[in-house]
Chains A and B, each alone.
Chain A
Amino acid sequence: MANQKVSQDTGDLVLNRISKFYGDFKAVDDLSLTVPDGSFFALLGPSGCGKTTTLRMIAGLEEPSQGTIHIGDTDITTQKPYRRNVNTVFQNYALFPHLTIFENVAFGLRRRGIKDVKTEVDKALALVELGHLAERKPGQLSGGQQQRIAVARAIVNRPEVLLLDEPLGALDLKLRRQMQIELKRIQMEVGITFIHVTHDQEEAMTMADTIAVMNQGKIEQMGSATDLYEAPRTAFVANFLGQCNLIKAKVQSRAGGKAVVTAKGHTFEIPLSRVSTENDSILLGVRPEKLRLDDKGVNSIKDCVVTDRSFVGTSTQYLVRTPWDLELVVFEQNDEGLHDLHVGDKVSLEWDPEHTFGLDGAQDVNAGADLDDEE
């Protein structure tokens, strides 16, 4: 009976061409997205990219200026937050300070008129391994414990979609790593659709099945962590996820499944399947760990100079200047094949064509670089 005030059908979450304007500012700009039922989905982007606004529209805390939101066949675009079967884990957890942990977790069940809450609450607390703290107040818990309670408080309601708004942002690095694994485990156990908003690319890659990279209210690219990292389609994605070397180049020919491009008199090959533009002016991209300090390959640059070197444990990072004064980043694994190079040493660079990608050359080479440390 009481459950009927909340929509119950399950299915994919579909955002259809939603926008959100604040005056002249477009926080979310004509965004369409389908999140399959039961998946772990991440919205990744720098602060101010519109990811939190998108999340709040799904939660019902903001209403879209345009577009519709569906879960399965139900249109929830203008439904009140307490009518939709969506729960949120807030950035600062937003636990009710005047209620015990037990009552915090029981809150949603009680509001839906469920009389026997004890079994469900105990189960939820057991899931986050904090059953022994049921009688405490939120103020007596550590940040990590509060975080788990926030998850339990949302999950106990068995929502169709669980929204997580930067839930690990306030935790220290070690605890964050631990909670990433924990959240992943909980998601697999309960099978609810998780939508995780974060500005931390590593967090998104660790946890999510599918990542949507957002920038300026739009989705730049969507795919698995591997897809986004190995085959980015925009300079923003290439730079925002990890580090990337981008070289301005011109396409000379597209034949035999490969594109031949030139940059400052050097010729490089890229598999055509990895060129995401029809434009002849392109950005040739290659990840730092794919570069080798050698000169045998098809794609190589000779007469480079090491300008910086830093040892970071698992690898050594070099900055290498090309003959035309472009600085490239090179990661070399610290194993037996290590070249022990120093600043000023002459080197050559080479890499495999299949590790190369071609992006539209009309973009800013630095788009998305150095953004992920903000906030």
Chain B
Amino acid sequence: MTTTAIPMPSLSHRAKRWISRNLIRIYAGLAFIYLFIPVAYTFAFSFNDAGKSNLIWQGFTLDNWKNPCGAPQVCSAVVNSLQIGILSTVAATILGTMIAFALGRHKFKGRSTTNLLIFLPMATPEVVLGASLLAMFLNLRISPGFWTIVIAHVMFCISFVVVTVKARIASLDPRLEQAAMDLYANERETFRYVTLPLVMPGIAGAALLAFSLSFDDFIITNFNSGIVSTFPKFVWVSSARGIPPEANVIGSAMFFIALIIVIVGQVVSRQRKKS
């Protein structure tokens, strides 16, 4: 028998060291798996050769992707959702940005009250908002449909736009606008050439947020849509009978479009920083 001067660390000791070194990576990996399992599931089942129900794996097919409008009414629902999303995003972004400038830049009577009231729709449960909007529309003898959905969506999107844009305005150095005025730019030119370009990232972010909130909304929409179908409503209604795989195709496509937008945005901003 020979004895070594330095004993080899035991196997369990080495395993412990490896774990303690990589703990943060393991944890992050688990968190990502948790986050992306539903997306992966949706994506995988978009290739399911489903007959009636898309709950059980029945074989691989590309048919769903070749014809995403295959299920009855799915594409008209998506078109409705896109139209509503775009209309309410434009309206909410314009109104919300104007409110944000008023709140962020001007002192007027009732400003702090307005600041508080703007938060209320965000704090109110959606079921309550949806139900009372419906009651209001019915009392005004407006039958629920496409435009009531748009009105409802603009309403709850405005708060988010105001909060996002106001944060951007608050972080804007007022001396930049003073410098513009000092350099012969009148009020309108100062806004056009300095204020607006600097607040723009905030407005763009707010618009994206508004669109995704509108596209995604089910509760308020369900109350105020009448017979008009949107994508979330379509999924909800069809879930009773079994969600068609086309819905998975559209859901996955939305996810990848969003992913591509984010990646392109990152690449562009990185290149801009480099140059």
Contact at A98–B184, with CB atoms within 8 Å? Answer: no
Tell me the chain A residues, 54-96 only, with Cβ under 8 Å from chain B.
59-61, 80-82, 86-88, 90-92, 94-96
B185 & A82 in contact (Cβ 8 Å cutoff): yes
Contact at A82–B181, with CB atoms within 8 Å?
Answer: yes
Binary flags per residue of B228-260, CB closer than 8 Å to A gives 1, else 0: 000000000000000000000000000000000
Judged by a CB distance under 8 angstroms, whether B194 is at the interface is yes
Shortest B188–chain A CB gap in Å is 11
Residue of B176, B179, B180 most packed against chain A (CB within 10 A): B179
| The one of A61, A97, A108 that contacts B184, using a Cβ cutoff of 8 Å | A108
Is there contact, CB below 8 Å, between A90 and B197? no
Q: Is A148 an interface residue (CB 8 A)?
A: no
- Chosen A-B contacts, 8 in total, with CB atoms closer than 8 Å, are A80-B186, A95-B179, A96-B194, A107-B180, A108-B183, A111-B184, A153-B183, A157-B184
**Contacting residues of chain B (190-206) with chain A, CB-CB under 8 angstroms:** 193-194, 197-198
Q: Is the CB of B184 within 8 A of A92?
A: no
Q: Which residue of A lies closest to B189 (CB)?
A: A111
Q: Give the contacts of A145-166 with B (CB-CB under 8 A).
A: 153-154, 157
For A165, give the chain B residue with the smallest CB separation.
B175
Whether B181 contacts A87 by the Cβ 8 Å rule is no
Given contacts A82-B186, A87-B182, A108-B184, 6 further A-B contacts (CB under 8 A): A80-B181, A82-B184, A82-B185, A88-B178, A98-B198, A107-B180
Contact A81 B181 (CB under 8 A): yes
Chain B interfacial residues counted at CB < 8 A: 17
**Cβ of A6: which chain B residues have Cβ within 8 Å of it?**
184
When C-beta atoms are compared, the residue in chain B nearest to A56 turns out to be B178
A120 vs B180: C-alpha distance in the bound complex, in angstroms? Answer: 19
Do residues B185 and A90 form an inter-chain contact, with CB atoms below 8 A? no
Assess the B198–A107 pair: CB atoms within 8 A: no
Q: Using CB atoms and an 8 Å cutoff, list the residues of chain A in contact with chain B.
A: 5-6, 59-61, 80-82, 86-88, 90-92, 94-98, 107-108, 111-112, 153-154, 157
Q: Complex: how many Å from CA A331 to CA B69? A: 92
Instruction: Give the complex CA separation of A59 and B176 in angstroms.
Output: 14
**For residue A135, which residue of chain B has the nearest CB?**
B275
Query: How would you classify the secondary structure of chain B's contact residues: helix, strand, loop or mixed?
Result: helix
Query: In the complex, how many angstroms separate the beta carbon of A51 from the nearest chain B beta carbon?
Result: 17
Q: Is the CB of B183 within 8 A of A61?
A: no
Q: B142: shortest Cβ distance to chain A, in Å?
A: 44
Q: How far is the CA of A157 from the CA of B179 in the complex (A)?
A: 13
Nearest first, the 4 A-B pairs at minimum CB distance are A108-B183, A94-B179, A111-B184, A94-B175
B185 touches A94 (CB 8 A): no
B residues lining the A interface (CB < 8 Å): 173, 175-176, 178-186, 189, 193-194, 197-198
Q: How far is the CA of A77 from the CA of B189 in the complex (A)?
A: 22
A6 to B189, CA, bound (A): 16
Complex CA gap A61/B153 in Å reads 42
Could you tell me if A94 and B173 are in contact, using CB atoms closer than 8 angstroms? yes
Which of A59, A90, A95, A154 counts the most B-chain CB atoms under 10 A from its CB? A90
Residues of A within 8 A of B198 (CB): 96-98
Residues of B within 8 A of A86 (CB): 182
Contact B185 A107 (CB under 8 A): yes
CA distance A153 to B184 in the complex (A): 12
Cβ contacts under 8 Å, A94 to chain B: 173, 175-176, 178-179
With both chains docked as a complex, state the minimum distance between the C-beta of A147 and any C-beta of chain B, in angstroms: 14
| Residue pair A90, B194 in contact (C-beta under 8 Å) | no
CB distance from A336 to the nearest CB of B (A): 53
Distance in Å: Cβ of B178 to nearest Cβ of chain A = 5
Within the complex, what minimum Cβ distance (angstroms) separates A33 from chain B? 20
Which chain B residues lie closer than 8 Å to A154 at the CB level? 183
Q: CB distance A107 to B183 under 8 Å?
A: yes
A102 to chain B, nearest CB (A): 14
Most buried by B among A87, A91, A96: A96
Q: Which residues of A contact B193 (CB under 8 A)?
A: 107
Q: B179–A90 contact, CB under 8 A?
A: yes
Contact assessment for B181 and A90 in the assembled complex, using a CB-CB cutoff below 8 Å = no
| Cα distance A98–B178 in the bound complex, in angstroms | 16
Residue of B nearest to A86 (CB): B182
In the complex the two chains form, is A92's CB within 8 Å of B182's CB? no
Q: How far is the CA of A81 from the CA of B185 in the complex (A)?
A: 9
Tell me, in angstroms, the Cα distance from A52 to B235 when the chains sit together. Answer: 63
Bound CA span A112–B185, Å: 8
Asked whether, in the complex, the Cβ of A61 is within 8 Å of the Cβ of B182, the reply is yes
Bound complex: CA of A27 vs CA of B49, how far in Å?
A: 79
A61-B178 CB under 8 A given contacts A97-B198, A111-B189? yes
Verify B183–A111 contact, CB threshold 8 A: yes
Q: How far is the CA of A154 from the CA of B178 in the complex (A)?
A: 13
> CB distance B182 to A59 under 8 Å?
yes
User: Are A81 and B197 in contact (CB-based, < 8 A)?
Assistant: no
Residues on B with beta carbons closer than 8 Å to the beta carbon of A80: 181, 186
Q: When the two chains form their complex, are residues A61 and B180 in contact, meaning their CB atoms are under 8 A apart?
A: no
B175 pairs with A90, CB closer than 8 A: yes
C-alpha spacing A317/B2, complex, angstroms: 75
Asked if B182 and A88 sit within 8 Å, CB to CB, the answer is yes
The one of A5, A98, A157 that contacts B183, using a Cβ cutoff of 8 Å: A157
CA–CA, A111 to B191, complex, Å? Answer: 13
